[in-house]
Amino acid sequence: MKRLAIIGSTGSIGTSALAVVDAHPDRLQVVSLAAGDNAALLAEQVAKYRPLAVAMATEAGAERLRATGVALPGEVRTGSDGLIAVATHPDVDIVLYASSGSVALEAVLAAIEAGKTIALANKEVLVMAGELVTAAARRRQVAILPVDSEHNAIHQCLHGHDGLHVRRLILTASGGPFRGRSAEALDQVTVADALKHPTWQMGRKITIDSATLMNKGLEVIEAHWLFGVRPDQIDVVIHPQSVVHSLVEFVDGSMLAQLGVTDMRLPIQYACSYPDRWAAPVPPLDLTRAATLQFEPPALDLFPCLGLAYRALHAGGDVPCVLNAANEVAVASFLEGRIGFTDIPRVIESTLAAHVPAPADTLMAVRRADAWARAHAAHVAVQSTTRGI
């Protein structure tokens, strides 16, 4: 029996993880749950799974949870302290980080120090503090298992292979809803347009990141830290069908690819079962219905966020942290209707240009860079609404 903590249990990844628990009740047990704002759904989860600890993002959310009348296991913790309490509960074996954003960083570090296995669906943690997190994991001999479909695919392809034999990692991207659009068309994109992902059902923030290709840029940085490869060993190809989830090319020219249906329950279950494999609660991929598989290079001129991510990774230090924070601010501004779709990379590039790089080897340094970038990006976003960037 593997015992789980789920950070972000009411989101799309969190609910998929609980579906995996439902499929394997003899192998998986929920010990603790943390949610953002959805108190009603968390109350349902608490009633069904009877966790030993729960947390909400805010005290207002905790009050709504208490008001549901569900039998709670004790005090409802909130904020960063709540995430840490859920992640470090003594009965937990695996912590699944299913929430987006940078708020979970302290909880990841605390879980590593507590010796928990980390199942990571959160890109931002490694993007903003990859050096810090991976160094802590090595020191405590803690495994970080990727749940993102692309990195999970790479992990599967690398299993049993010496990293010295790897020539490059190839991350696939669907291309989002705007593949093939002109620059003029992108200027007219609405929030509703950008939230219509062609192949995946995801949260709002990650769906916008997919539309700008920043999602793939964050994954490039994440792959660097997860697999210890150089930036020039990580490539991105557009693959609209989302059947090939990623590939590894070896020094002899051979390639291994992982194929599967577009269902996040598969990589979640892989992270929970590793190194074993369990029967999956999803239909298998039917190759005869997969039709033609297309691969093409990304249009970096139309989707500059991917190039900005490579630039940040090459710069190193706290620059990826600044990139991530500026992107979060820009995406939030777009979702709120305050800037346009093509303003997102402009806000990020302006913030990167104003930043003086520094090391990111302490939590204080990471948080300082994050706070500066958020403030600067917010200012740039406000300016963009009045006179352009």
The token duo for 77 is 């913790």
Give the global pTM: 0.93
The tally of CA atoms less than 13 A away on the side-chain side of residue 386 is: 5
* Residue 14 main-chain phi, psi, to 5 deg: -60, -45
Within a domain: residue 334?
Answer: yes
Within a domain: residue 258?
Answer: no
Angle ∠(211,212,215) on CA atoms, nearest 5: 85
Q: Which residues are CB-contacts of 177 (< 8 A; sequence separation ≥ 6)?
A: 193, 194, 196, 197, 198, 211
Q: Which domain holds residue 371?
A: 316-389
User: Mapping DSSP to helix (H, G, I), strand (E, B) and coil, where does residue 265 land?
Assistant: helix
Closest CA to 363 of 169, 107, 129: 129
Within a domain: residue 128?
Answer: yes
Q: Pick from 147, 166, 183: which residue ends a domain?
A: 147
So what's the pLDDT on residue 65? Answer: 97
Q: Which domain CATH number covers 25?
A: 3.40.50.720
Only one residue has tokens 């002109």, namely 182
So what's the pLDDT on residue 201? Answer: 66
* Residue 273 main-chain phi, psi, to 5 deg: -95, -20
For 55-92, letters b (16+ CB in 10 Å) and e give bbbeeebbebbeeeebebeeebbbebebbbbbbbbeeb
User: Mapping DSSP to helix (H, G, I), strand (E, B) and coil, where does residue 135 land?
Assistant: helix
The tally of CA atoms less than 13 A away on the side-chain side of residue 306 is: 23
Within a domain: residue 356?
Answer: yes
The token duo for 287 is 């190759």
Interatomic CA distance for residues 82 and 266, integer angstroms: 28
For 344-374, letters b (16+ CB in 10 Å) and e give bbbbbbbbbeebeeeebeeeebbbebbebbb
Distances (CA, A) of 244 to 35, 258, 288, 301: 31, 6, 14, 25
Q: Which domain CATH number covers 333?
A: 1.10.1740.10
For 175-202, letters b (16+ CB in 10 Å) and e give bbbbbebeeeebeebeeeebbebebbeb
Per-residue pLDDT of the chain (389 residues; tens, 9 = 90+): 999 999 999 999 999 999 999 999 999 999 999 999 999 999 999 999 999 999 999 999 999 999 999 999 999 999 999 999 999 999 999 999 998 778 889 999 999 999 999 999 988 899 999 999 999 999 999 999 999 999 999 999 999 898 889 999 999 998 888 888 899 989 998 999 898 877 666 778 888 999 999 999 999 999 999 999 999 999 999 999 889 999 999 999 999 999 999 899 999 999 999 999 999 988 899 988 877 899 999 999 999 999 999 999 999 999 999 999 999 999 999 999 999 999 999 999 999 999 999 999 999 999 999 999 999 999 999 987 654 44
Closest CA to 55 of 81, 31, 30, 77: 77
Interatomic CA distance for residues 59 and 65, integer angstroms: 10
Within a domain: residue 277?
Answer: no
The token duo for 49 is 């799974």
Within a domain: residue 282?
Answer: no
So what's the pLDDT on residue 388? Answer: 46
Q: Pick from 104, 129, 147: which residue ends a domain?
A: 147
Within a domain: residue 166?
Answer: no
Which residue type, as a one-letter code, is found at position 94? Answer: I
Q: Pick from 147, 172, 201: which residue ends a domain?
A: 147
The token duo for 106 is 């302290």
So what's the pLDDT on residue 123? Answer: 87
Within a domain: residue 160?
Answer: no
DSSP strand pairing (234-238 vs 244-250):
unpaired
Only one residue has tokens 């579906």, namely 19
Closest CA to 247 of 180, 323, 308, 166: 166
**Domain total of the chain:** 2
**Contact criterion met (CB below 8 Å) for 243 and 210:** no
